[in-house]
Amino acid sequence: MLSLVIGVAGAFAQGSRFAPLRWFVAGYVAFFRNTPPLVQMYFFFFALGAITPTVPDDIGMEVPLVSNFVWALVALSLFAGAFNVEIFRSGIEAVPRSTVEAAESLGYTRLGTYREVVLPLAFRVCLPSLNNNLVNLIKTTTLAYAIGVPEMLYVANQIWSDSLNVTEMMNVLLLLYIGLVSLLVWLMHRWERAMRMPGYGT
């Protein structure tokens, strides 16, 4: 979800007249697209995690202000968000300039044009790629294992260490992931259908 917001905001910022903002987004996209997500997660958890303050928990132990779960969430969102920026940008570029002008000539501001015309159309264009990226994101969540977030692989590992049923657990795990991805794909398909534009064969 967060990665979608980043994608939309980033793509909007790239169309901005304020050059430093465009450079910042371009740098962000380049950084997160060209480094492995596992390295990013380590970077967030070990490098940034080490310099964030800690707070005492209810039994008096010092725990980090930002938990490993949040770090995983941030890292993964930024990672997927970088791809989404690019996906949305291509979608936005597919919206004809003349359609944008029609909105402007009706008095729409840049933000209004973006919200009511450009984004809805760009979404329709980039849904398939968006779909791919989100499926990838689900699969990438396994990496959170590396910084000790109890995601599915981690939980499965615990169960099999306890009871030596590795094969069964692997099967369950695969099925769970297939289930999760299918659910996403199904939701995206419904969304695609709901956004169909009659007469355009999409």
Partner 1 sequence: MTPLVSIQDVHKRFGETTVLSGMSLDVRKGEVICIIGPSGSGKSTLLRCVNALVRPERGRITVSGIEVTAPRLDPIALRRRVGMVFQQYNLFPHRTALQNVMMAPISVLKQERREVEARARALLAKVRLQGKEDSYPGELSGGQQQRVAIARSLCMQPEVMLFDEVTAALDPETVKEVLVTIRELAEEGMTCLLVTHEMGFAREVADHVYFTDRGVIVEHGPPAEFFTAPRDARTREFLGKLL
- Binding residues for partner 1, rule: CB under 8 A, are 96, 98-99, 101-109, 112, 116-117, 120-121, 124, 195, 197-200
Cβ 105 to partner 1, closest distance in Å?
4
**Contact criterion met (CB below 8 Å) for 123 and 91:** yes
Cβ 197 to partner 1, closest distance in Å?
5
Please count the CA atoms within 13 angstroms of the CA of 74 that sit on its side-chain side.
15
Task: Locate 2 and state its tokens.
Answer: 């967060």
Give the count of beta carbons closer than 10 Å to the beta carbon of residue 79: 27
User: Cβ closer to partner 1: 104 or 151?
Assistant: 104
Q: How far apart are CA 182 and CA 129, in angstroms?
A: 16
Cβ 122 to partner 1, closest distance in Å?
11
User: Cβ closer to partner 1: 18 or 200?
Assistant: 200
Cβ 92 to partner 1, closest distance in Å?
14
**Contact criterion met (CB below 8 Å) for 75 and 40:** yes
- Which amino acid is residue 167, in one-letter code? T
